[in-house]
């Protein structure tokens, strides 16, 4: 290796990965443009979103300064704290829109499940990376326990979207750690076997309705099917080139529900057409690709697994959200990452990307 | 400690390469899953594009129908009989008014709003979209419009909106001929749907319910236009995308003569009865009056049930169009036609004489059929029998002819059939025959029945229009024109005359017989009612019994119930040589035809003939 390359440049000294940052900024700008249209050209709304973006970028910057080793050391205590908070939510949480997700800390509302989105993959990566990889079967029991407790606690709130994201982030750690294909296959099989149990015992009526609605949205066009129908109409009527910015009739005339939050992708499909959708997917793919490169170049198993899990969870957001908006998946409350209006998920995601940057910029270059 | 340490020994290079393989695999999965999303987007946005585009437009575009303005109706001289009048409605848009009760209280200080109107408004407010205007009061008087306009600035969100409503300026004068329009009801809707015309009525509130308004609905209604509006998910109009103007209904001219109609109604003077006047040259109806009448304007906005009940239950039955639906025994007014039959079938000749002692008996039967003249007319021939309206002559004629022959001769004159006049409210009357009685009553025909038919009584009933039409055929010497009221249709600037519907003429065995009968009718006129008229005329009166007076009873006009008194009838035309107007007058329970119906006929012919003369000079 050329020793010249070891001398860190300005970005590396700031612990910033420029290619990833550019991708994230591109997504945020895309998001701002769409929110301006979907939010009815509301400047106050734009200001709030800009503030959140700034805050998220700042948090990302701060997190990027923290050495991954610190995270590894604190992983398990944070996990325990997270589980305790989730149990706390169960008993003392605020009920909002039918779900018990928030803890009122007096000065702010706080969602422990958001904390878990990051604490959980860190813990999983910490646990798995303690052992030589690929992990032996006997360690999987511990991993399973670590996984199942927060997943069930969050699903109980009920917050299906978050519990899927949390569970996925843990499963990604296990998969990336090199778990044998037989176990992976067996796991997928048991998940499929669990589906009827999920359907009959764990899912709420409204969740079952969402799944049924997905299969035939026209059955209840004004009730449960309304969101999906209007969203598909918006996307479909966009065509190849779209109706143009600010000219999407489905969104501007308010036929599309949740148009600047969870269903914002329908606005993109309507106003920018297939071209705009493909562009957005390309930026997403670029960010995922960069995340996986960072993961691959990481020096410890813990860092690799954590970076890979964070990146793939980001993809799960994208897939579940676009799948839902375009009528492939049931309606679950997952925002389109970095595009949808809203602060909580952006803060969590950007913290995750801060960890990625930290992993990439805290490498020690040692000659072997 | 040492062995355990060995177990947990990490092979960093192997772990790194294992991770890279797994990461590559997941990246391939990511691309595949994005491919699924993309192919679904392709399906939605490219393959199903037209479908979703249509559904998107269905969402946002609302087509608002715009009703056409209804065609106007004029009389033959261009006087307007049915017009569209602006009327004003006070409307309130709920979302623009902060405090509705307070505003209403302030408003009622300048424009009275009744408790009913308030209640209706409050009721419909609940089920109303807040941005759509809601009717507060309709119609406003012009004074109220003026008062509100001055104070409008105090009432944001309240406005006066103008609309058009049908108005009949002559009120009850033409009611039965013109008919009226009313709000479209469920029955109208069903009929329009069946005729596949419902879509043309999407914005229309009114439809012809009776008379000309109903018969020529298709001409008068016009074609609706529409506005294409862009709306949001709550139905609020964002902007108008396209507007297609409606095609107004066609204006029509009737053959009715406003002045003659006025005169006729004036002459009836509230009495129950009917006048029909026809121009025998083209079949155009000059006047069609049914009395008593009522104001059609009250039906336009919906008549109160109390007022409607009053009309419906009135003993005088104003809702009936007596001219076309009243079925009366024609009595002696059909003696000219019977005489014509007698001559043409050679049952009698002009010289045949009959002795009238004041009654007539079926040969070999004791019962006496009385003549109206107790002491008899003495020797009569066809001319004197017509002039004196001798019953005995016609008892004998009918007896010799037989009812079936009478029926088959009379049907071509329009008896027992609808004339085909251009309104739907028409009865056929009845021209009896042996078959008819068997069908209707399952009874054989008696000779006595024939004798009654011989003087236009018994089972024979006619409408005034049928009488006028039969008289016109007589005056026209067999030429038959379907009576009608539509004269022409306005087309841009010119008028298109409506074609005259002419049927095959009646050809007699001897066409001279027309002249013999018409001459007798002329003699009748000039010996009596038209003695001093400044023009030539022909006529025949009739007095119809409404109930049978027993043989030994005396009909006493003074003591009998009003509704059992005789009906007075007359048919007349002028001028005799070249008839221009034929009329039939029926006055219910008025008594003698000559005395009561005669002056009406004379005054009407005077009006028509002398006014025309003035115009010519």
Residues in B closer than 8 angstroms to A287, CB to CB, are none
Tell me the residue ranges of DSSP E strands in B273-345.
Answer: 273-279, 284-291
B 229-248 residues inside an 8 A Cβ radius of A: 230-234, 238
Per-residue model confidence (pLDDT) at position B452: 92
| Same domain flag for A194 and A224 | no
Residues in B closer than 8 angstroms to A136, CB to CB, are none
Q: Is residue B52 part of a domain?
A: no
| Same domain flag for A260 and A333 | yes
| Same domain flag for B216 and B305 | no
| Same domain flag for B534 and B569 | yes
Per-residue model confidence (pLDDT) at position A160: 76
| Same domain flag for A167 and A136 | yes
Q: Is residue A21 part of a domain?
A: yes
Per-residue model confidence (pLDDT) at position A99: 63
- Say whether the ipTM exceeds 0.95: no
Q: Is residue B136 part of a domain?
A: yes
| Same domain flag for A222 and A352 | yes
CB B572 within 8 A of CB B601: yes
Q: In terms of Cα–Cα distance, which of B477, B482, B441 is closest to B459?
A: B441
DSSP state of A6: G
Distance in angstroms (rounded) separating the CA atoms of residues A245 and B200: 38
- Calculate the CA A63 to chain-centre distance: 17
Distance in angstroms (rounded) separating the CA atoms of residues B596 and B428: 26
Q: pLDDT: is B528 or A6 the higher one?
A: B528
| Same domain flag for A55 and A168 | no
| Same domain flag for B438 and B491 | yes
**B332 annotated active-site:** yes
CB B402 within 8 A of CB B432: no
Give the 3-state secondary structure of residue A81.
helix
Number of separate domains in chain A: 2
Residues in B closer than 8 angstroms to A249, CB to CB, are 56-57, 59-60, 230
| Same domain flag for A124 and A77 | yes
% chain B with pLDDT above 90: 59
| Same domain flag for B485 and B396 | yes
Q: Is residue A1 part of a domain?
A: no
CB A231 within 8 A of CB A328: no
Q: Is residue B290 part of a domain?
A: yes
| Same domain flag for B141 and B270 | no
Establish if B23 touches chain A: CB-CB under 8 angstroms: yes
Residue in chain B nearest A315 by alpha carbon: B30
| Same domain flag for A335 and A252 | yes
Establish if A142 touches chain B: CB-CB under 8 angstroms: no
Q: Is residue A45 part of a domain?
A: yes
| Same domain flag for B478 and B603 | yes
* Helix or strand holding residue A191 (H, E): helix A181-197
CB A164 within 8 A of CB A152: no
Distance in angstroms (rounded) separating the CA atoms of residues B385 and B263: 32
Residues in B closer than 8 angstroms to A240, CB to CB, are 45-46, 49
pLDDT digits (tens, 9 = 90+) for B202-249: 888 889 999 999 999 999 999 988 888 888 877 778 888 888 889 999
| Same domain flag for B241 and B274 | no
Instruction: Point out the least confidently predicted range of A219-228, B37-46, B563-572, B590-599.
Output: A219-228
* Helix or strand holding residue B62 (H, E): strand B61-66
| Same domain flag for A229 and A350 | yes
Q: At what angle do helices A264-297 and A18-38 cross, to 10 degrees?
A: 170
Would you say the pTM of this structure is higher than 0.80?
no
Per-residue model confidence (pLDDT) at position B5: 44
Q: Is residue B58 part of a domain?
A: no
| Same domain flag for B329 and B220 | no
| Same domain flag for A32 and A107 | no
Q: Look at chain B and count its residues.
A: 617
Q: Which two tokens stand for residue B604?
A: 């009407």
| Same domain flag for A55 and A75 | no
Paired residues of B207 in beta bridges: B182
Interface test with B, best of A128, A236, A258, A311 (most B CBs within 10 A): A236
Tell me the residue ranges of DSSP E strands in B384-485.
Answer: 480-481
Q: What CATH number has the domain bearing residue B97?
A: 3.90.1310.10
Q: Is residue A5 part of a domain?
A: no
Instruction: Point out the least confidently predicted range of A150-159, A343-352, B417-426.
Output: A150-159
| Same domain flag for B436 and B531 | yes
Q: Is residue B54 part of a domain?
A: no
Q: In terms of Cα–Cα distance, which of B410, B448, B443 is closest to B429?
A: B410
Phi, psi of A315, deg, nearest 5: -65, -40
Q: CB under 8 Å to A368, separation ≥6 — which residues?
A: none
Per-residue model confidence (pLDDT) at position A187: 74
Q: Is residue A241 part of a domain?
A: yes
Instruction: Point out the least confidently predicted range of B279-283, B396-400, B488-492.
Output: B488-492
Binned at pLDDT 50, 70 and 90, residue B613 comes out as low
Distance in angstroms (rounded) separating the CA atoms of residues A148 and A166: 10
Per-residue model confidence (pLDDT) at position B156: 84
Per-residue model confidence (pLDDT) at position B554: 57
CB B336 within 8 A of CB B477: no
Considering only CA atoms, give the Rg of chain A: 21
Q: In terms of Cα–Cα distance, which of B269, B298, B273, B240 is closest to B64?
A: B240
Binned at pLDDT 50, 70 and 90, residue B302 comes out as confident
Q: What CATH number has the domain bearing residue B399?
A: 3.40.710.10
Number of separate domains in chain B: 3
| Same domain flag for B14 and B80 | no
| Same domain flag for A171 and A276 | no
Distance in angstroms (rounded) separating the CA atoms of residues A198 and A207: 11
Q: Is residue B103 part of a domain?
A: yes
Q: Is the pLDDT of residue B161 over 80?
A: yes
On average, the pLDDT of chain A sits at 85
Q: Is residue A9 part of a domain?
A: no
| Same domain flag for B301 and B155 | no
Establish if B16 touches chain A: CB-CB under 8 angstroms: yes
Phi, psi of B253, deg, nearest 5: -110, 135
| Same domain flag for A354 and A221 | yes
Please compute the mean of the pLDDT values over residues B579-591 and round it to a whole number.
93
Structural domain that includes position A163:
69-203
Structural domain that includes position B164:
64-252
pLDDT digits (tens, 9 = 90+) for B449-472: 999 999 999 899 999 999 999 999
Who among A178, A250, A322 is closest to B18 (CB)?
A178
């Amino acid at each position: 290796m050329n020793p010249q390359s070891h001398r860190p440049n300005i970005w590396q000294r700031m612990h910033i990965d420029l290619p990833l940052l550019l991708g994230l900024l591109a997504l945020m700008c895309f998001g701002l443009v769409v929110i301006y249209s979907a939010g009815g050209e509301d400047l106050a709304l734009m200001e709030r979103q800009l503030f959140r973006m700034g805050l998220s970028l700042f948090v990302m910057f701060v997190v990027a300064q923290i050495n991954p080793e610190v995270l590894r050391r604190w992983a398990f205590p944070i996990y325990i704290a997270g589980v305790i908070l989730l149990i706390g939510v169960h008993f003392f949480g605020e009920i909002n829109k039918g779900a018990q997700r928030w803890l009122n800390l007096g000065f702010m509302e706080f969602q422990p499940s958001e904390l878990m989105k990051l604490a959980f993959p860190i813990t999983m990566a910490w646990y798995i990376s303690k052992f030589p990889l690929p992990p032996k079967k006997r360690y999987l029991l511990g991993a399973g326990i670590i996984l199942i407790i927060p997943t069930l606690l969050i699903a109980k709130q009920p917050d299906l979207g978050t519990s899927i994201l949390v569970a996925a982030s843990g499963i990604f750690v296990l998969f990336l750690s090199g778990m044998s294909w037989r176990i992976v296959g067996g796991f997928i099989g048991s998940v499929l076997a669990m589906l009827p149990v999920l359907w009959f015992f764990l899912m709420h009526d409204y969740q079952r309705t969402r799944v049924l609605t997905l299969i035939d949205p026209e059955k209840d066009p004004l009730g449960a099917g309304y969101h999906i129908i209007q969203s598909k109409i918006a996307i479909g009527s966009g065509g190849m080139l779209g109706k143009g910015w600010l000219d999407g009739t489905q969104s501007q005339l308010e036929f599309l529900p949740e148009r600047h939050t969870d269903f914002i992708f329908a606005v993109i499909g309507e106003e920018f057409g297939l071209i705009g959708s493909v562009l957005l997917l390309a930026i997403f793919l670029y960010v995922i690709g960069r995340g996986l490169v960072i993961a691959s170049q990481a020096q410890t198993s813990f860092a690799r697994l954590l970076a890979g899990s964070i990146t793939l969870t980001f993809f799960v957001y994208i897939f579940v959200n676009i799948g839902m908006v375009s009528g492939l998946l049931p309606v679950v409350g997952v925002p389109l990452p970095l595009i949808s209006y809203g602060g909580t998920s952006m803060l969590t995601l950007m913290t995750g990307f801060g960890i990625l940057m930290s992993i990439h910029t805290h490498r020690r270059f040692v000659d072997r | 400690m040492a062995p355990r340490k060995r177990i947990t020994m990490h092979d960093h290079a192997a772990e790194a390469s294992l991770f890279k393989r797994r990461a590559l695999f997941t990246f391939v999965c990511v691309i595949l899953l994005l491919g699924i999303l993309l192919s679904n987007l392709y399906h939605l946005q490219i393959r199903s594009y037209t479908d979703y585009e249509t559904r998107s437009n269905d969402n946002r575009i609302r087509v608002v129908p715009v009703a056409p303005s209804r065609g106007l109706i004029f009389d033959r001289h261009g006087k307007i009989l049915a017009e569209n009048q602006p009327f004003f409605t006070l409307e309130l848009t709920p979302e623009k008014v902060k405090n509705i009760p307070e505003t209403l209280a302030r408003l009622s200080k300048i424009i009275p709003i009744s408790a009913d109107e308030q209640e209706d408004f409050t009721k419909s407010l609940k089920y109303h979209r807040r941005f759509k205007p809601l009717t507060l009061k309709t119609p406003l008087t012009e004074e109220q419009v003026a008062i509100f306009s001055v104070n409008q600035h105090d009432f944001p969100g309240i406005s006066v909106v103008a609309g058009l409503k049908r108005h009949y300026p002559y009120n009850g004068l033409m009611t039965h001929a013109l008919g009226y329009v009313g709000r479209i009801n469920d029955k109208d809707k069903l009929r329009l749907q069946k005729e596949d015309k419902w879509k043309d009525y999407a914005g229309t509130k009114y439809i012809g319910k009776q008379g000309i308004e109903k018969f020529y609905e298709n001409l008068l209604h016009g074609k609706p236009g529409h506005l294409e509006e862009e709306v949001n998910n709550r139905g609020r109009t964002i902007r108008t995308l396209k507007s297609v103007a409606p095609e107004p209904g066609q204006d029509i001219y009737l053959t009715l003569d406003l002045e003659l109609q006025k005169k006729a109604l004036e002459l009836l003077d509230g009495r129950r009865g009917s006048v029909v006047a026809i121009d025998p040259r083209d079949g155009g109806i000059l006047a069609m009056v049914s009395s008593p009448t009522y104001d059609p304007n009250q039906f336009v906005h919906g008549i109160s049930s109390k007022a409607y009940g009053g009309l419906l239950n009135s003993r005088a039955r104003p809702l009936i169009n007596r001219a076309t639906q009243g079925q009366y025994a024609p009595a002696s007014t059909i003696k000219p036609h019977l005489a014509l039959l007698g001559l043409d079938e050679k049952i009698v000749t002009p010289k045949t004489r009959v002795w009238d002692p004041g009654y007539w008996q079926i040969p070999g039967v004791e019962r006496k059929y009385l003549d109206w003249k107790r002491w008899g007319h003495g020797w009569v021939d066809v001319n004197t029998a017509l002039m004196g309206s001798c019953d005995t002559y016609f008892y004998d004629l009918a007896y010799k002819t037989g009812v079936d022959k009478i029926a088959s001769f009379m049907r071509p004159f329009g008896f027992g059939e609808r004339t085909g006049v251009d309104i739907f409210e028409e009865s056929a009357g009845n021209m009896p025959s042996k078959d008819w009685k068997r069908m209707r009553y399952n009874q054989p025909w008696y000779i006595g029945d024939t004798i009654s038919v011989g003087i236009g009584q018994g089972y024979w009933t006619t409408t005034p229009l049928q009488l006028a039409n039969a008289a016109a055929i007589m005056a026209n010497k067999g030429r038959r024109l379907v009576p009608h009221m539509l004269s022409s249709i306005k087309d841009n600037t010119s008028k298109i005359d409506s074609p005259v519907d002419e049927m095959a003429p009646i050809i007699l065995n001897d066409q001279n017989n027309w002249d013999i009968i018409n001459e007798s009718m002329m003699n009748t006129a000039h010996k009596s009612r038209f003695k001093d008229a400044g023009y030539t005329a022909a006529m025949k009166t009739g007095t119809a019994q409404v109930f049978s007076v027993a043989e030994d009873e005396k009909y006493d006009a003074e003591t009998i119930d009003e509704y059992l008194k005789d009906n007075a009838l007359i048919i007349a035309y002028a001028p005799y040589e070249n008839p221009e107007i034929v009329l039939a007058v029926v006055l219910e329970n008025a008594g003698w035809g000559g005395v009561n119906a005669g002056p009406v006929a004379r005054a009407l012919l005077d009006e028509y003939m002398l006014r025309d003369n003035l115009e010519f000079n």
